[in-house]
Amino acid sequence: MVDLVNHQKPAVRSRYDEAAASGAQLVTSALAAHEFIYGVIISRRPEIHLANAEELLADLEIVPWDYEDGVAAARLRRALRRSGRTIGATDALIAGQALARNWTMVSANLHEFERVEGLRTIDWTAPDATP
């Protein structure tokens, strides 16, 4: 979401616009929205960034996090712990929700999310990414 509002990576906006035009369902987790807004309000210019962030979030369906998401995230964290490939706690919660709902994760943070078996990921900042 950061790359969509900071306008420094036009390819990301182009891929987002293509996905929206194709009719793809564009959603975000309430947890991801929280992380995004937190980053905005601790930035050097929150008053500028907040309006852009809220505009983007208004275009997305913000999906609440529920019990089934929690169960999926707990199972994911157990599997990652057993394999010795843990990821950050919030990323595990977001990835668990994505797994539970069969979502494809769009993130430039594939370093952690690619550790999650069965999670479909795409990085719109990559030159060969498709929407």
23: left (phi over 0), alpha (psi -120 to 50) or beta: left
At residue 121, what are phi and psi to the nearest 5 degrees? Answer: -130, 155
User: Helix, strand, or coil here: 107?
Assistant: coil
Q: Indicate whether 129 pLDDT > 90.
A: no
Q: If we measure between CA atoms, which residue out of 27, 28, 29, 51 comes closest to residue 40?
A: 51
Using alpha carbons, list the distances in angstroms from residue 72 to 65, 68, 88.
Answer: 11, 6, 15
- Domains (range + CATH), the chain: 2-122 (3.40.50.1010)
Q: If we measure between CA atoms, which residue out of 29, 37, 38 comes closest to residue 113?
A: 29
Structure tokens at 27: 């959603």
pLDDT tier for residue 31 given thresholds of 50, 70 and 90:
very high
pTM above 0.85, yes or no: yes
Poorest-confidence range of 5-14, 22-31, 80-89? 5-14
**pLDDT per residue as tens digits for the range 96-126:** 999 999 999 999 888 889 999 999 999 988 8
